[in-house]
Amino acid sequence: MSFDAQELYREVIVDHSRRPRNRRAIESPTGHAVGHNPLCGDRVHVYVKLDNDGKIEDVSFEGGGCAISTASASIMTETMVGHTLDEAQKLFESFHERLTRNGEGPPSDELDPISAIEGVRRFPARVKCATLAWHTLKAAIDQRNGDVVKTE
């Protein structure tokens, strides 16, 4: 990865951690879950509202933790809104694959926000920070009755 790209990615993370998007509760969500990463102390609440067609009409989070977990939660909400659950599942899988694949691999050419988060795979201890909000969204989607679950 070129120095310029690394610098850009760093700025994306700083921006999302300082000014997180969609950091708020959703009134009467169709799902809500709490994610906790004890290794780092990150804790996020994720709210999701599905429309009648099963599309993600709104998604938000509260809480956070370190810069990586907060930025990743913010990026997750922007990535997921407007997608069907099938599309959301594919986005989740591709995100997870990009963060956990072995070795450096070829850097993504796309300068999307997920590429910024992807850099944490060089720091395995931080991968849990980055995936926390995404796992919590899955739990929120599965918990349509609004119960609170804990994911680790």
Residues forming contacts to Zn ion in the complex (CB under 5 A) are: 40, 42, 65-66, 69, 129
Q: How far is the CB of 35 from Zn ion (least distance, A)?
A: 11
Rank residues 102 and 125 by Cβ distance to Zn ion and give the closer one: 125
DSSP string, 15-55: HHHHS-TTBS--SS-SEEEEEEETTTTEEEEEEEEE-TTSB
Q: Cα 48 from chain centroid?
A: 13
Q: What is the signed CA dihedral for 131, 132, 138, 142, rounded to 10 degrees?
A: 160
Rank residues 31 and 63 by Cβ distance to Zn ion and give the closer one: 63
Q: Which of 141, 136, 137 has the alpha carbon at shortest distance from 152?
A: 136
Q: How far is the CB of 132 from Zn ion (least distance, A)?
A: 7
Question: Residue 7 belongs to what H/E stretch?
Answer: helix 3-18
Rank residues 85 and 127 by Cβ distance to Zn ion and give the closer one: 127
Dist. CA 89–CA 32, nearest whole Å: 17
- Is the CB of residue 19 less than 8 Å from the CB of residue 128? no
Rank residues 42 and 62 by Cβ distance to Zn ion and give the closer one: 42
Q: How far is the CB of 130 from Zn ion (least distance, A)?
A: 8
Rank residues 7 and 123 by Cβ distance to Zn ion and give the closer one: 123
Q: How far is the CB of 124 from Zn ion (least distance, A)?
A: 13
Q: How far is the CB of 40 from Zn ion (least distance, A)?
A: 3
Dist. CA 39–CA 5, nearest whole Å: 29
